[in-house]
Amino acid sequence: MAGPRYTSYPTVPYWNMETFSVDKWKESVQKSFKESNEAEGISLYLHLPFCESLCTFCGCNKRITKRHEVEKPYINALLKEWALYRELFGARPKIKEIHLGGGTPTFFSPEHLRELIEGLLQSATLADNYEFSFEGHPNNTTEAHLQTLYDVGFRRVCFGVQDYNETVQKAIHRIQPFENVKRVTELARKIGYTSVGHDIIFGLPFQTTEHVKETIEKTKLLSPDRIAFYSYAHVPWIKGNGQRGFRDEDLPTATEKTAQYNLGKQLLREADYTDIGMDHFALPTDSLYTSMIEKRLHRNFMGYTAQKTQLMIGLGVSSIGDSWYGFAQNVKNIETYYHLIHEGMIPLSKGHLLSVEDLLIRKHILNLMCNFKTSWSTETTQIPELANIVEKLAEFERDALIIIENNTIRITKKGKPFVRNICMAFDVLLQRKKPDTQLFSMTI
């Protein structure tokens, strides 16, 4: 079954543009900033879209180029966009989290990345226990990248591994030897990074359970602090030719994918990794594990995070911001982005303002995605469609995937792989208007 990953609710295809406007987005940002900045601070997500080559498994917004002269204009634009938001705040922002995503953040030179971060922090205050993280490509992340970002406050890095099998790597156009991953992982630890993560994907073209086993066995040799082990999202109808570097019949069947996931999960658990939310695993020493134990785990457009903030500002092409009361996504075209920034406009393309019902359902879905549990025991946690939702959940209960008692739903150990499907029962927008075409990737 296809379904959302629920990095937001409502999910992007169900955003209501009729009630959204740039001015209303600005108002929601100002409201959220006043409510939360002093107490907890804000988060920043920066999308750095450039890559030197195309990985055919990737569903992200990217621009393929080997021309590194694109770096400086893009950083200038990011800092101008940040200045537009600072004007809205009306006070000095306190930054709790920064994440650099892509694209390939390490496409940028260490010097330009330093200029970017120092430019962001120049007119901001750092929150206590702030966390800066970035996504690194093992093939082009240098010691200078790691040291420079460490010097400006970064302590967490995540490296995209995907799979170590050469046939799979050729199919997804990501030739990346184990030695490269070993080099950057050990360099990061030597410099002082406290959390090194690896991303592993199952369900890739030509991938087998044996490939997954080999990849995880090699990963265990490096003992990353956290691991994202997730299903390849095959959505070529959305992402176009980037995901057509292989045939549909080259992909594992649903049964094969399930076997890959179950084997990988078993191997990770045997290596002392604990399931964190959906598709994430962490060692007991990692902050993601601690946040789960302390019920502080949060999920947003950056995925799972140990740092919860009410306000997250997205900077750069295609970035999505979250004010808690609304979502807004920037334009995806770089030239359009530059034009709007030059005109002094926040470069939005679409968004959604959350209704009272949206906010309530969002809380339930967040509870399920982060804690595998939610409750509707009080009047303020109940929604009109509750009877229909409970009816849809009955099938999961019969299959022992959930337990419902005392107006509380708890996802069982057996049910954790199906958390996306269980959340779909709460997704009243999806129920009211089922899509005519497939919008989402398969849940497993």
Per-residue pLDDT tens listing for the chain (444 residues): 567 889 889 999 999 999 999 999 999 999 999 999 999 999 999 999 999 998 888 888 999 999 999 999 999 999 999 999 999 999 999 999 999 999 999 999 999 999 999 999 999 999 999 999 999 999 999 999 999 999 999 999 999 999 999 999 999 999 999 999 999 999 999 999 999 999 999 999 999 999 999 999 999 999 999 999 999 976 654 444 454 567 888 999 999 999 999 999 999 999 999 999 889 999 999 999 999 999 999 998 888 998 889 999 999 999 999 999 999 999 999 999 999 999 999 999 999 999 999 999 999 999 999 999 999 888 788 888 888 888 899 999 999 999 999 889 999 999 988 999 999 999 999 888 765 544 444 545
Rounded CA-CA distance 374/383 in Å is 13
Cβ neighbours for 228, distance < 8 A, ≥ 6 positions apart = 158, 197, 198, 199, 200, 279, 280, 281, 303
Determine which helix (DSSP H) or strand (DSSP E) holds 375, and give its type and residue range: strand 373-375
pLDDT at 236: 57
Binding residues for S-adenosyl-L-methionine: 45, 57-59, 102-104, 135, 162, 174, 199, 233, 320
* Token pair listed for 20: 């959204």
Domains of the chain, by residue range, sit at 12-353, 356-432
Residue 34 is given by DSSP the state H
Binding residues: 45, 51, 55, 57-59, 102-104, 135, 162, 174, 199, 233, 320
**Which residues is 280 bridged to in the sheet?**
228, 276
Does domain 356-432 fall under CATH 1.10.287.110? My reply is no
pLDDT at 243: 46
Rounded CA-CA distance 252/209 in Å is 10
Rounded CA-CA distance 247/359 in Å is 40
**Which residues is 196 bridged to in the sheet?**
157
pLDDT at 58: 83
Binding residues for [4Fe-4S] cluster: 51, 55, 58
CATH top class, domain 12-353 = alpha beta
Find tokens 């004007």 and name the residue.
87
313 closest CA partner among 85, 128, 114, 91? 85
Decide: helix, strand or coil at residue 70. helix
pLDDT at 94: 98
pLDDT at 441: 45
